[in-house]
Amino acid sequence: MSQNGSTGAGPPKEGAGPPPEEERHEVERPAGGVVYLATAAEAEMYERSRDALIEEYGFHRRNDLVNLGGLLMQEVAMYRAETDLQDETKAPAAQSRLLKAGEELARYEKALGIDKKTRDAGGVHTVDAWLANLKRMGREHGIHIADRQKWLERFVMELSWKVRLLKNGDAEDRAHEGLTEQSVIDWCEQQIEEFHANEKKWAHEVGKVFVGIA
């Protein structure tokens, strides 16, 4: 195995020290902790596949997350082998590595219940994943509603004292707070923009994950 982070390397060994900083491409393992990959392309592929599989199947049990980590590293190994197939001097060894990684990948898929045979039979994760995602959707939506309610309560409380001071306070009090009708209007517009920005951010980062579940 190459010591310089070449594409011919196998999956990184867990527990090994990180590579030099300029070669580090750190990704989070599904079960926790990090692993260091050789290239930015590998890291992007790992993270995209990890997130897609968790979203699709709703993996959350510890053993599933551990197996998912193993599956992802086999995908990395296959990617490296496929890259080396383009080099005539590396192709023979790469072909052997590709076959081995494919066998290991199939083993992890079976352990996770996402292999083709299990999926065609209505795999164990089909209903479990739907229920898990439905529960997550309810929990996340509940948290969002609570956060929205707190935001609105804060907005109403702050607007209330501004209006009271504007209506009942004397000129000195209003000047001390820098309060005018225009400043209240400007503040309200700023708060409204913030509210809509928060809603869009939640919809983009959290809400879109659950589209089509219910």
Lowest mean per-residue pLDDT among 14-18, 41-45, 81-85: 14-18
Q: Please write the tens of the pLDDT for every residue from 118-157.
A: 766 655 555 566 566 667 777 777 888 888 899 999 999 9
* pTM of the model as a whole: 0.51
Q: Are 36 and 19 in contact (CB under 8 A)?
A: yes
CA 72 → CA 42, 64, 85, 191, distances in Å? 10, 12, 20, 44
